[in-house]
Amino acid sequence: MKKILSDTVKNEFVEITGYHRKHVIRLLKEQNYTDKMIQLNRGNRIYTEAVEKALILIWEATDRICSKRLKAALPIYIESLEFHNHLKIDLDVKKLLLKISASTIDRLLSNARKLTKSKKRKSSPKRFTKKIKVKTFTEWKDTQIGHMEIDFVVHCGNSMSGKYVHTLVSTDVCTGWTEFISVLAKSQSLIVESINSLRKQLPFTLKGINSDNDSSFINESLFNYLHQNPKYCIIFRIRFLYMTEVELLKSIKSNDKKSFTIFYNTYKKKVYNIAFKMTGKSHDSEDITQ
């Protein structure tokens, strides 16, 4: 009966498609083999959908780290997420997650990674930084009272771990007048409040803020605050060595001792090495370098 039914199916297949009978037999055999493999794979699947969902949740909690780092972090994150009721899994799923390999993690996360590829987190472009002027060490000659250098002192002892208090130190370039303001954290909103307090404490008008490239100072919140405030104040980014060789030589020609010191410290090793190759004596090389 099965053979008759099989022959009937084959005959109809040949008549509808126009394929050769032998080609039809091969196609049907391949299809049967594929269906059996799919059923076999489904039956032997170790890591179920529950494992995959739990793994994706943990992966998102770790900010989508790589599989090798995720495998090492799984015990810690499972315990933490369960403690805070963000993850609820049975004991079998937990055991599977703890023994999973990095290659299996890659396989289970492949679909999730494809979906999040277009949504990859990118650092926002800081267009406003282009509006902040860069001040080099040669531009301090005609500085007026009210231009202050600001930076943080961290009260953390010998370790940077944990939470600690910061002190915002502001020093006037001309007079040396210094103000200290304690800050709980280096957040943008707290920095704005600290600058506002600094304005009130100073015996003179705050005309300019000079900081390094720390994101606590070079950010949109502080930039907008300073430019929207009625008492206009300029913010600068300080780069003490931000000079080309041509600018450095021009400063040396104008008898700038600081420029000469920078030039000497930058090139003394190169000059010494060339002199040593020529003379072969360290004492003569040092004399030539001087």
Distances (CA, A) of 231 to 132, 207, 208, 218: 18, 8, 11, 19
Nearest to 221 by CA among 247, 194, 191: 191
Is 62 found in the same domain as 101? yes
If you average pLDDT over each of 43-57, 96-110, 189-203, 224-238, which comes out highest? 96-110
Q: Say how far apart CA 40 and CA 62 lie, in whole Å.
A: 34
pLDDT of residue 242: 45
- Collapsing DSSP to helix, strand or coil, 67 comes out as helix
Question: Do 232 and 259 form a contact (C-beta atoms < 8 A)?
Answer: no
Mean pLDDT confidence for 256-280? 75
Question: Do 148 and 208 form a contact (C-beta atoms < 8 A)?
Answer: yes
Of the two residues 126 and 153, the one the predictor is more confident about is 153
Phi-psi sector, 147: left (phi>0), alpha (psi -120 to 50), beta:
beta
Residue 183 backbone phi and psi in degrees, to 5: -130, 135
Per-residue 3-state assignment (H helix, E strand, C coil) for 229-275: CCCCCEEEEECCCCCCHHHHHHHHHCCCHHHHHHHHHHHHHHHHHHH
Beta strand 147-155 with 208-211 is parallel
Mean pLDDT confidence for 46-68? 87
- Which residue range is the domain that position 253 belongs to? 245-289
Instruction: Retrieve residue 199's tokens.
Output: 């304005």
Is 257 found in the same domain as 234? no
Question: Do 102 and 67 form a contact (C-beta atoms < 8 A)?
Answer: yes
pLDDT of residue 39: 52
Confidence band for 40, pLDDT divided at 50, 70 and 90:
very low
Q: Is residue 208 part of a domain?
A: yes
Q: Is the pLDDT reported for residue 1 higher than 80? A: no
Is 223 found in the same domain as 131? yes
Q: Is the pLDDT reported for residue 189 higher than 70? A: yes
Going edge to edge, which strands form the sheet with 133-135? 133-135, 234-238, 208-211, 147-155, 165-172, 178-183
Q: Say how far apart CA 36 and CA 49 lie, in whole Å.
A: 21
pLDDT of residue 119: 47
Nearest to 102 by CA among 70, 60, 75, 79: 70
- Collapsing DSSP to helix, strand or coil, 155 comes out as strand
Q: Is the pLDDT reported for residue 259 higher than 80? A: no
Question: Do 160 and 180 form a contact (C-beta atoms < 8 A)?
Answer: no
Using the 3D structure, point to which of 116, 140, 175 is the last residue of a domain.
116
Domain tally, the chain: 4
Q: Is residue 103 part of a domain?
A: yes
Q: Is residue 166 part of a domain?
A: yes
Q: Is residue 121 part of a domain?
A: no
Is 221 found in the same domain as 149? yes
Q: Is the pLDDT reported for residue 23 higher than 70? A: yes
Is 148 found in the same domain as 68? no
- The fraction of the chain above a pLDDT of 70, given in percent, is 74
Nearest to 116 by CA among 49, 64, 54: 64
Instruction: Residue count of the chain, please give it.
Output: 290
Q: Is the pLDDT reported for residue 184 higher than 70? A: yes
Q: Is the pLDDT reported for residue 134 higher than 70? A: no
Mean pLDDT confidence for 158-177? 83
Bridge partner residues of 151 (DSSP): 169
Q: Is residue 122 part of a domain?
A: no
Q: Is residue 17 part of a domain?
A: yes
The predicted-structure confidence for 76-117, as pLDDT tens digits, reads as follows 989 888 888 888 889 998 999 999 999 999 989 988 888 776
Is 109 found in the same domain as 193? no
Q: Say how far apart CA 160 and CA 102 lie, in whole Å.
A: 32
pTM of the predicted model as reported, rounded to 2 decimal places:
0.40
